[in-house]
Chain A
Amino acid sequence: MKGLNLPKKRIYLGPASLIRRILAFVLDLFVIDIVIAGFFKGKISLMLPEAAGFSEVQTIMQSSQALIAQLSSIILAISLISLLYFSVMQAVLSQTVGMMVLNIYVMQQGKKIAAPTFWQGIIRNIFVFPFFPFFVLWLTEPLFLIFSRSRMRMLEVLSKTVTVEEISE
């Protein structure tokens, strides 16, 4: 229909949907498992038998303080590098790999369109640490995300960042 001068499709960035955010996070966990945790699996398997159930693992861990210290070091190392993954990727590209696949972005709040700074990335992703008090966030963050009106996590509010996706109309 030439010459009708219809208005162009408007594309803007709005709050990312919950499903996309969850799927992006799951994909990121896979990436972390392969790229980061993969190098530590050999060491962990030497400490803990492969077929060990939860109670067996608990017994092994309780038998040696040195083992607990070593496992804690490994977990800390994986957490720190994972935090770097989220922070650096979001600071440089506004996206992690999972976000790139699901086409969602992290932006600074406000009128200025900009990727978050490195430190904003650190704050919004600090939940990756599996130590007290950070693991409390594993419960509070999803609840905040689901039940808050702004559809933001608590750490997003603190870091003044927002997760967005392309919305066209």
Chain B
Amino acid sequence: MEKPKPRNKWITALIILAILAFLSYVVAGIISLFAGTGEFTDINAGNVAIVSIKGFISTESGSLLFDEQGTSSTDAVEALKKAEDASNIKAILLEIDSPGGTPVATDEIAQQIKKSKKLTVAWIREVGASGAYWVASSADIVVANRMSAVGSIGVLGSYVQFEGLFNKYGVKYERLVSGEYKDIGSPFRNMTSAERLLIQAELDSLHRIFIDEVKQNRKLSDERMAKISTGMFFFGTEAKDLGLVDVLGGKEEALKIIETNLNITASPVEIRKKESLSDVLSRLSGGLSYQIGLGIGNSIVTKANRNSVTV
């Protein structure tokens, strides 16, 4: 057997290696573009860290293509910790525009705010309701627009139940459980009176925790708490009268408060997770899908049935 004799084999090898190296460079670049690193934006410049609490608050933000973007408590807590650790940051401004969220996620953020030794100001924009108000109340000062929807100090556990629909189409729910209340809250059957009482008791328990937190944070009396903890929301002006809000205004007023309290010139810097290309596409897609759904929903619901408040 004779060996083959390729000419200039080392030059050929170098050419192939160069092509593979270039391919690796391109693929690495594409992966970097699409995959986030989990890093936060640089906050070396500035002295007021802005942390956004927008959309539904949960432990992990929506990762599905059609999810509306919300706030992940994991990310929010990490952002707050970074702001706390940064020596150049003198105050933390929470930009809140959220209808609330899950109890644990909300409490995680609220507890982190309360741990902060820096001045914290909550700036409520359109909505600071339910869990979002819980978060806002944990700050030292709450600023809201006169028309911001604030409060909604209550707990929601409602769900859609399909037993009637199933009966209509001859669909049966086969209940196989070990443990009487294992399928409590199942959307496939009616709730029994006993189950209703049990769940209501749990919701009431959560509500009491919520009330106690706001009472402690805002230093409100029991009588005042009884009045405001019906689940009702209040617009900014009334919320201020009720003690839920300290100052009426927007970002400018919030920054002025910080400047006055700390005797500094506020230089805000937003702290957020760096978005990868896939995050941007997901956010745009989610937002677009949400708006499409909203449009379809609005066109189906008649004017008489609309509950949204608009000006």
A interface residues (Cβ-Cβ under 8 A, vs B): 12-13, 31, 35-40, 42-43, 46-47, 64, 66-67, 69-70, 73-74, 77-78, 81, 84-85, 88-89, 92-95, 97, 100, 105, 107, 113-115, 164, 166
Q: Are A97 and B20 within 8 A (Cβ)?
A: no
Contacts A39-B24, A77-B27, A93-B9: A13 and B1 contacting too (C-beta < 8 A)? yes
Q: Are B28 and A39 within 8 A (Cβ)?
A: yes
Q: In the complex, what residues of A have CB within 8 A of residue B2's CB?
A: 12-13, 113
Closest to B14 in A: A97
Interface of B: prevailing SS: helix
In the complex, A101 Cα to B153 Cα: how many Å?
75
Q: Which of B29-37, B50-58, B129-137 contacts A (4 or more CB under 8 A)?
A: B29-37
In the complex, A97 Cα to B16 Cα: how many Å?
10
Q: Are A46 and B16 within 8 A (Cβ)?
A: no
Cβ of B12 < 8 Å from any Cβ of A?
Answer: yes
Q: Are A47 and B38 within 8 A (Cβ)?
A: yes
Q: In the complex, what residues of A have CB within 8 A of residue B31's CB?
A: 40, 43, 70, 73-74, 77
In the complex, A141 Cα to B27 Cα: how many Å?
29
Cβ of B281 < 8 Å from any Cβ of A?
Answer: no
Q: Can you list, as one digit per residue, whether each of B163-177 has a CB less than 8 Å from chain A (1) or not (0)?
A: 000000000000000
In the complex, A35 Cα to B28 Cα: how many Å?
12
Interchain residue pairs A-B with the least CB separation, the first 6: A39-B28, A13-B1, A70-B35, A39-B24, A46-B37, A36-B24
Contacts A13-B2, A70-B35, A81-B23: A43 and B28 contacting too (C-beta < 8 A)? yes
Cβ of B21 < 8 Å from any Cβ of A?
Answer: yes
Q: In the complex, what residues of B have CB within 8 A of residue A38's CB?
A: 24
Cβ of B223 < 8 Å from any Cβ of A?
Answer: no
Q: In the complex, what residues of B have CB within 8 A of residue A97's CB?
A: 13, 17
Q: In the complex, what residues of B have CB within 8 A of residue A84's CB?
A: 20, 23
- Other A-B contacts than A31-B17, A92-B6, A115-B4, 4 sampled, CB-CB below 8 A, are A36-B20, A47-B37, A77-B31, A100-B10
Cβ of B3 < 8 Å from any Cβ of A?
Answer: yes
In the complex, A64 Cα to B60 Cα: how many Å?
10
Q: Are B6 and A94 within 8 A (Cβ)?
A: yes
Cβ of B39 < 8 Å from any Cβ of A?
Answer: yes
**A43 touches which one: B6, B10, B17, B32 (CB < 8 A)?**
B32
Q: Are A85 and B20 within 8 A (Cβ)?
A: yes
